[in-house]
Copies of this chain bind each other. A is one copy, B any other.
Amino acid sequence: MPQFRRGDRVYRRLQEEIGRNTIRIETDGEEIGQVNGLSVISLGGLTFGNPSRITARVRLGRGEVVDIEREVELGGPLHSKGVLILGGFLGGRFGKTRPLSLNASLVFEQSYGGVEGDSASAAELFALLSALADAPINQSFAVTGSVDQHGRIQAIGGVNEKIEGFFDACQTTGFTGRQGVIIPASNIKHLMLRRDVVTAAAEERFRIFPIETVDQGLSLLTGLTAGEPDAEGNYAAGTLNQRIAARLDAFAVKAAELARNAAGMEARK
């Protein structure tokens, strides 16, 4: 069992609220457009991990990825930069041959303080891509890591506290044996976990997945193949990227259809 230092009270309180569902964290089942993100809170002498439910919703629109924390000035500049980078990735991968006729909104649910740092940008991207692909995300996992404009996962700080924070949340809500954490491969060298987490990992009751790319993370979270583009830049049917491309095409077609109805309907006669 973990040993608690000073500052514990707040941490224990947080875990209790998760246990009582005042703060809603799911550690089982699957949801579309929702992922467990991980941040750290520093308080007194203690730094502890803080799991957050990150949600994304998409609709027909004009290509905007709305970072709600930023809109209301609860997100710091590094968080905002992370979301803009994620938009750069989306545009670079899917926006060269089709317009991005979507509006997406990203939220840290039940987060009432500020959000800073880019360590949730991979998680936010997964939530967004899940919403676009209508592909459910396994809630047994939590994610940490930042992402660059080319979809590479980059190292983040506080990796141990973040893993332990989700481990404790799973303990609070009940271990299932299917739970675990997805982290940047470049953070493996920083791992120095509590003994109980190490043991659980060794017994494969709680797993740690290092990833290098967005596509590796997507596959883990959805159980589906991400898919590689062929020579024409198309993805094989059934892959996640093909589903995302198809959704974006559907949005573009719908947007064009609406404009067409508006502009051309009368010209038929």
A residues touching B (Cβ–Cβ < 8 Å)? 20-24, 31, 33-34, 53, 55-61, 63, 66, 68-69, 71-74, 77-78, 80-81, 84-85, 87-89, 91-92, 94-100, 103, 105, 107, 109-110, 112, 118, 131, 146, 148-150, 152, 154-155, 186-187, 189, 252, 254-256, 258-269
Residue of B nearest to A109 (CB): B148
Q: How far is the CA of A269 from the CA of B266 in the complex (A)?
A: 10
Q: How far is the CA of A260 from the CA of B257 in the complex (A)?
A: 11
The smallest C-beta distance from A175 to any residue of chain B, in angstroms, reads: 22
Q: How far is the CA of A22 from the CA of B66 in the complex (A)?
A: 29
A72 adjacent to B66 (CB under 8 Å): no
Residue among B59, B88, B154 making CB contact with A100, cutoff 8 Å:
B59
Q: Tell me which residues across on chain B come within 8 A of A254, comparing CB atoms.
A: 97
A95 adjacent to B91 (CB under 8 Å): no
Given A72-B77, A258-B256, A259-B263: A150 and B34 interface contact (C-beta under 8 Å): yes
